[in-house]
Structure 1
Amino acid sequence: MRLRSGKRQKADDRPETDGRPTAPSATPGLAVELRGVRRQYGRGTGAVHALAGIDLALPRGTFTAVMGPSGSGKSTFLQCAAGLDRPTSGSVCLGGTEITGMSENELTELRRSRIGFVFQAFNLLPSLTVEQNVLLPMRLAGQRQDRHRATAVLAQVGLADKARRRPGELSGGQQQRVAVARALITSPDVMFADEPTGALDTGTAAEVLGLLRQAVNDLGATVVMVTHDPTAAAWADRVLFLADGAFAGGVEGGSAERIAEHMAALTARTARTGPTSPTARTSAMAGVSA
């Protein structure tokens, strides 16, 4: 199947212009850019540092997978990068727009119009048809609901004949393909996928991952996927590994076996040494090490 063409950062942490804080400028050509992103829950001795100073730059038109042991900060990373949670400090830019200081209303509008989401649980509304589910982001963003666009996107994911069906009438794999179509409908700057194949069998998972891969190859989409599965991660251009809230190296264009070896070594090292200090952690700015 082929596709066709937190807390807000403190003001005194930023440069001042005419007495007002200014956001750091985004780097051209990047879909996702995180600078010094930290996320802390709680205070004092009981504080949990879910993210400990992340620097990351992802070019447009790339497919990146993020892996890590349980508790490494994967979910917090995705939530902060996608504007679902606010970093304690640092800045996040999506599609050239600095989002860290946005109001809740501005963030909601950005998520509806410029970000696509694919979740493990599909998150389709059972009372709506497939077509209505796909068009939902446009409806919520107050845009004209373009049924021709919905038809085209459903055809891209191989569901042209399912537009009038409801989610309950579809298989799990078909529901996830509807979710991919919904994520594509607004031609977003970035698609975030959170364990998108976790509820699917191996064959169906490969179909969904193939759709994400082809969205990057054929449509120039940018995909950031959190996964625990080395086989799923192998579909990505690069795999970044999180440990103790910071990136700890990565693999470019690796096989599932090689990715699994890196993941096993990281898990063993984390279990052996325990949490490391922020100064000992590595960041991943423009590239990754093999």
Structure 2
Amino acid sequence: MARETALGAAAVELAGVRRQYGRGAGAVHALRGIDLRLPYGSFTAVMGPSGSGKSTFLQCAAGLDRPTAGSVRLGGTEITGLGENRLTELRRSRLGFVFQAFNLLPSLTVEQNVLLPLRLAGKRPDRHRAAEVLTQVGLGDKGGRRPAELSGGQQQRVAIARALVTRPDVIFGDEPTGALDTTTAAEVLALLRGAVDGLGATVVMVTHDPVAAACADRVLFLADGALADTLPRSTPDRIAARMTDLTARTRVGAAA
């Protein structure tokens, strides 16, 4: 929070963000004017029915896709008009990503996978920093292993360490627990929660799981490309009930 006050900017800001695919009668309006401000040191979950715009929201917020209209700021930097090279540089140095598929390179060791963002950003590989983040995720003794030698949960821990290594402004998660069993998912969520509470990280996570969303400070619900509802930190049951209600209303609207 101190970082936000000092910079006068939130970690993520979207203003009037729209994303349209195609034109004319066949156009798909994936996002219909998103206005949002997420502070530093916060954990936000994004939920919604299938086709609600969750993935497009994440891609536009993270600079992986360009909105048709509106603006996106990351750490106070307007990214909407940046050239591709500058945008790539920003993603590598200031953003972290954790996906459902772990996206580890099988030919590299755990340590080398963690250091990859630093190499891609043109920075000196810092083995001390790699050891530090691996210790934070409970894998301090696994730096020399290959991904294939680790369990799925351990591989996702490596992915989290890789996301943390550059001390990013924001960590974006796309269904980070989707491929994990319940126990392992809980461990991974605890790591993300710990990164927010203990390291001051900012996490934005798309999920379909109310249990995962219950770890966040706030849940945003999307429907038909628009922000339909928000819920402060709550229980899985309450989040699930809100999702059920939203899905029902979306179906009624589509039928009408």
Q: Same fold (TM over 0.5)?
A: yes
Question: Which of residues 16, 30, 34 in structure 2 aligns to 1:54?
Answer: 34
For the residues of structure 2 that align with 1:40 and 1:229, how far apart are their CA atoms?
A: 27
TM-score (structure 2 length as normaliser)? 0.96
Cα shift readout 1:193-237 (whole Å, capped 9, x = no counterpart): 000000000000000000000000000000000000000000000
Question: Which of residues 211, 234, 240 in structure 1 aligns to 2:214?
Answer: 234
Residue 115, structure 1, aligned to residue 110, structure 2 = no
Q: Report the Cα offset of residue 253 of structure 1.
A: 1.1
Cα shift readout 1:3-61 (whole Å, capped 9, x = no counterpart): xxxxxxxxxxxxxxxxxxxxxxxx82400000000000000000000000000000000
For the residues of structure 2 that align with 1:177 and 1:167, how far apart are their CA atoms?
A: 11
Cα shift readout 1:75-110 (whole Å, capped 9, x = no counterpart): 000000000000001000001111000000011000
Amino acid at match of 1:201: D
For the residues of structure 1 that align with 2:60 and 2:133, how far apart are their CA atoms?
A: 28
* 28-37 or 219-228, which deviates more: 28-37
Alignment-derived partner of residue 16 in structure 1: none
For the residues of structure 1 that align with 2:164 and 2:12, how far apart are their CA atoms?
A: 17
Bigger Rg over Cα: 1
Q: Report the Cα offset of residue 141 of structure 1.
A: 0.4
DSSP-derived class of the 1:254 partner: coil
**Percent identical residues:** 77
For the residues of structure 1 that align with 2:84 and 2:66, how far apart are their CA atoms?
A: 10
Amino acid at match of 1:95: G
Cα shift readout 1:156-189 (whole Å, capped 9, x = no counterpart): 0000010000000000000000000000000000
TM-score (structure 1 length as normaliser)? 0.85
Q: Report the Cα offset of residue 275 of structure 1.
A: 8.5
For the residues of structure 1 that align with 2:87 and 2:190, how far apart are their CA atoms?
A: 30
Matches within 5 A, 1:1-290: 28-274=8-254
After superposition, the Cα gap between the structure-2 partners of 1:275 and 1:115, relative to the gap in structure 1 and judged at 3 Å, is farther
Amino acid at match of 1:49: H
Q: Is the 8 A contact 1:244 1:275 kept in 2?
A: no
Q: Report the Cα offset of residue 124 of structure 1.
A: 0.3
DSSP-derived class of the 1:50 partner: strand
After superposition, the Cα gap between the structure-2 partners of 1:100 and 1:275, relative to the gap in structure 1 and judged at 3 Å, is farther
For the residues of structure 1 that align with 2:84 and 2:196, how far apart are their CA atoms?
A: 29
DSSP-derived class of the 1:127 partner: coil
For the residues of structure 1 that align with 2:138 and 2:76, how far apart are their CA atoms?
A: 32
Structure 1, gaps ≥5 residues long: 1-26, 277-290
For the residues of structure 1 that align with 2:30 and 2:253, how far apart are their CA atoms?
A: 18
Q: Report the Cα offset of residue 127 of structure 1.
A: 0.3
Structure 2, gaps ≥5 residues long: 1-6
Give structure 1 regions of 4+ aligned residues with deviation exceeding 6 angstroms: none
RMSD after superposition:
1.0
Equivalenced residue count is 250
DSSP-derived class of the 1:214 partner: helix
